[in-house]
Copies of this chain bind each other. A is one copy, B any other.
Amino acid sequence: MSGNVNRDQGVATAAGFRAAGVVAGIKSNGKPDLTLVVNDGPSTAAAGVFTRNKVKAAPVLWSSQVLTTGSLRAVVLNSGGANACTGPEGFQDTHATAEKVADVLGVGAIDVAVCSTGLIGERLPMDAVLAGVDLATKELGTGAEAGLAAATGVMTTDTVAKQTALTHQDGWTVGGFAKGAGMCAPNMATMLSVITSDAVLDATVVDASLRAAVDATFNRLDVDGGTSTNDTVLLLVSGASGVEVTPAAFTEALTTVCADLVAQLQADAEGVTKHVTITVRGAATDAEAVATARTVAVDNLCKTAFFASDPNWGRIAMAVGNAPTQFDAAKLDITLNGVTVCRAGGRGEDRTGADLSGRDILVEIDLHAGEGTGTILTTDLSHAYVEENSAYSS
């Protein structure tokens, strides 16, 4: 990699992009709640990846249609309401929001993606949304400050804004923001993320690069097993750097940016006290390795043991035994922070030697059933998780 990520920069660092985040009055608490990202070109290539939940929010239905063109001029995002389970009226609200952005920018509604996040099942206050679009249009800017404002406008239970950018030594940039702290998984482990780049790319590369990067990053974070109705990752490419970039170099940079955003999501997950990495080796296939890691990641008995810094590997063995993969229980190895506490399906080194008291916990599982490997990032299940999710009001 010829460049490092910089969390002071974000979605408005790549040439050709402007962004803003404003207080539109959608949230009742007066915090920023509307973000606008504009691509001034010359290219308008774009791609999107959306939730696999069968209950899709209105903005997901809209934006996935828009993205079939492979082109975007702008993205408008709001927090303070998911606009999910809002029926035909909710879809009309999304459409009206896109129309409003199209009007003020002088483009077509088909050029505008819409994202929403917040409570499911309530209509958005459209007066506030539409006035917010006017306000955001006036605030559009470039660079670090505009990127941070954009990242801030989409926050819900997030405690910090999450952005990053990578500027390659050859003079092109990939950067973006993400939001999400709960309802994260098992695919598209964020509610919303927008990433921009000024690389010059063949249009067909944009979609393939985004899918590859998302599969290796956002799809490997699992906070609580709940794939939301609104999950969206969008990539917009302006080509404004004038630098032609190979697909491999672009995908590498994009994956680095996505991985850094995922690390920030994991660090800010609801109630998190532990950053847990679960790596499975020796599965029949990579897919089975990932599925096994995910089964451990969502198991509440494992998650509460992580919270307790408790090297209770029996709970992990129990979860592995419930995973959709075949293996010989008499060959199972489990290593916690470097100590192989379970060897050949039974007790290995003394579990008290595995120190899980720090923030980071590495769980390594070897099934000895093949060559497949896979990793899932997750968090613990803490009192704070219960508190946040029982207090998050309806």
Q: Which of A14-22, A115-123, A170-178, A260-268 contacts B (4 or more CB under 8 A)?
A: A115-123
27 contacts between A and B (CB under 8 A): A53-B322, A55-B320, A55-B332, A56-B321, A56-B329, A84-B318, A85-B329, A85-B345, A86-B347, A89-B346, A119-B314, A121-B346, A121-B351, A226-B301, A226-B315, A226-B318, A227-B321, A227-B322, A229-B318, A300-B389, A304-B390, A305-B390, A310-B393, A310-B394, A351-B394, A383-B387, A385-B386
Closest residue of chain B to A313 (Cβ to Cβ) is: B121
> A389–B301 Cα gap in the complex (Å)?
7
Is A90 an interface residue, CB under 8 A from the partner? yes
Is A307 an interface residue, CB under 8 A from the partner? yes
Shortest Cβ gap from A9 to chain B (Å)? 33
Given contacts A120-B314, A229-B321, A310-B393, A300 and B381 within 8 Å (CB-CB): yes
Given contacts A87-B330, A346-B87, A318 and B55 within 8 Å (CB-CB): yes
- B308 and A390 contacting across the interface, CB-CB below 8 Å: yes
Residues of A in contact (CB 8 Å), total 69
> A226–B322 Cα gap in the complex (Å)?
8
Shortest Cβ gap from A56 to chain B (Å)? 7
Count of identical protomers in the assembly: 2
Closest residue of chain B to A347 (Cβ to Cβ) is: B121
> A308–B389 Cα gap in the complex (Å)?
8
- A342 and B85 contacting across the interface, CB-CB below 8 Å: yes
> A393–B310 Cα gap in the complex (Å)?
7
- B84 and A317 contacting across the interface, CB-CB below 8 Å: yes
Is A344 an interface residue, CB under 8 A from the partner? yes
Closest 4 CB pairs of A and B: A120-B314, A55-B321, A308-B390, A87-B346
> A342–B86 Cα gap in the complex (Å)?
10
Is A224 an interface residue, CB under 8 A from the partner? yes
Is A299 an interface residue, CB under 8 A from the partner? yes
